[in-house]
Amino acid sequence: MNIRLADRVNRIKPSSTLAVSAKAKELQGKGIEVLNFSAGEPDFDTPLNIKRAGIKAIAEGFTKYTPVGGVDELKDAIIEKLSKENNLEYKRSQLIISCGAKQSVYNLTQVLLDENDEVIIPAPYWVSYPDIVLLAGAKPIILNTFEDDGFKITPEKLERAITKRSKLLILNSPNNPTGCFYTKEELSALGEIILKYKLLVLSDDIYEKILYDDLSFCNIANIGEEFKELTFIVNGVSKSYSMTGWRIGYLAGNDEVIAAVSKIQGHSTSNPSSISQKAAIEAYIAPQNALYDMVKEFKRRRDYIVDKLNSIPGISCFKPAGSFYVFPRVSSLYKRKFKNKEILNSVELCNFFLEIARVAAVPGGAFGNDECIRMSYTTSMENIEKGMDQINSVISMLE
């Protein structure tokens, strides 16, 4: 029986990152060892004190519905975090807790965007941004960046992309997949254009705490009060506290918009998990030692994998300032052959790495740049060393 699907479903593509992970797991299920560099989550366990807070919530019967937008205790913990760490002041009415940062992004686009609105998305981008915009009926405008400019947009490039239909700019810093990071000076320069055209900004800060080399985090709202009024901050506990499965994210911004988001959420998921909310409170108010240790280990892995990739013939790798990904350029390997089959793009190269080297990476085309592939270093140093050796060995097989 053929059932006609809604047109909106045909506008979007399945997540490439999830597809690669599924293929790698399928091979692993057959007993084949695969070194998985496709995962977008830390390999560390959720810190014990956070898990205990969740267990305590269950034991005490905190297992019922909460308000749609989350409990006040968690909102207050996030408000304090934003004040102390980001020098940004918000009220409870300007904050909503959702089932992960992805839901926060989705809800915001549903509230802000109409048909024919344009959303400017710097590429490389997180795979879901364009599809989430399309689901809202709006048009993603992809603004390409390149390794030579640090994978960052400039004020001139931003202004050229703006039209009468431009409504929203998505900024993700530190960035997935490149790990690039905007300094306060760079954001101030972009801010002149943003303010000139009254462009709204979605600031995706989910990798805020995974930052290296003594860099200080800043987002567009920090530039001044007039920018804060145009900015919507998305963040959560998934990456920083290794709580991907707990599904807690938040959105901070204009009261009226947050109220509208609450209406959307009230008719979809309703409140995020009561138990996860209690665990997230502990994540924000407890000592941050586990986070610091995790970031220190990620830096050690980053330094190794960047150096190793740059030593492999045909690969060059930009050094990320944050997040836990590398985005090496591999296009010089295209048009080479393996067993008379030519490799033409990032998908075919990733398939080659998976099938021959038993290394799983994500095609860069999914992120808007087919010259590169994304590799996550959220795996052990032993696996990283082994994976780099296996990639190096199979490249020599290409003609």
Confidence of residue 185 (pLDDT cuts 50, 70, 90): very high
The tokens 């593509």 sit on which residue? 13
What pLDDT is attached to residue 301? 98
- Taking alpha carbons only, the member of 198, 222, 193, 194 closest to residue 208 is 222
Total residues belonging to the chain: 399
- Taking alpha carbons only, the member of 39, 125, 119 closest to residue 368 is 125
d(CA 233, CA 85): 14
d(CA 206, CA 101): 7
> Average of pLDDT values for 255-271?
98
Confidence of residue 25 (pLDDT cuts 50, 70, 90): confident
* Distance, first Cα to last Cα, the chain: 47
d(CA 201, CA 169): 5
Look at strands 118-123 and 166-172 and give their pairing. Answer: parallel
Look at strands 200-204 and 166-172 and give their pairing. Answer: parallel
Average pLDDT, the chain: 96
382 or 30, greater pLDDT: 382
Count other C-beta atoms under 10 Å from residue 245's C-beta.
Answer: 10
With vertex at residue 177, the alpha carbon angle to CA 171 and CA 181, rounded to the nearest 5 degrees, is 50
Question: For the segment 128-157, what is each residue's pLDDT rounded down to a tens digit?
Answer: 999 999 999 999 999 999 999 999 999 999
What pLDDT is attached to residue 16? 67
Q: At 192, is the secondary structure helix, strand, or coil?
A: helix
Question: Residue 10: is its pLDDT beyond 90?
Answer: no
d(CA 371, CA 6): 33
Q: Give this prediction's pTM.
A: 0.96
> Average of pLDDT values for 237-261?
98
Question: For the segment 338-396, what is each residue's pLDDT rounded down to a tens digit?
Answer: 888 899 999 999 999 999 999 999 999 999 999 999 999 999 999 999 999 999 999 99
Query: Residue 354 half-sphere exposure, CB side, CA atoms within 13 Å?
Result: 25
Is residue 271 a contact partner of residue 67, using CB atoms and an 8 Å limit?
A: yes
Let me know if 97 is exposed, middle or buried by CB neighbors in 10 A (0-12, 13-18, 19+).
Answer: buried
Is residue 283 a contact partner of residue 289, using CB atoms and an 8 Å limit?
A: no
d(CA 194, CA 9): 32
Let me know if 121 is exposed, middle or buried by CB neighbors in 10 A (0-12, 13-18, 19+).
Answer: buried
> What is the full DSSP assignment across 49-63?
HHHHHHHHHHHTT--
Question: For the segment 39-98, what is each residue's pLDDT rounded down to a tens digit?
Answer: 889 999 999 999 999 999 999 999 999 999 999 999 999 999 999 999 999 999 999 999
Question: For the segment 267-323, what is each residue's pLDDT rounded down to a tens digit?
Answer: 999 999 999 999 999 999 999 999 999 999 999 999 999 999 999 999 999 999 999
Is residue 353 a contact partner of residue 27, using CB atoms and an 8 Å limit?
A: no
Return the structure tokens found at 331: 């296009």
> Average of pLDDT values for 16-24?
74
Return the structure tokens found at 299: 């830096």
Confidence of residue 251 (pLDDT cuts 50, 70, 90): very high
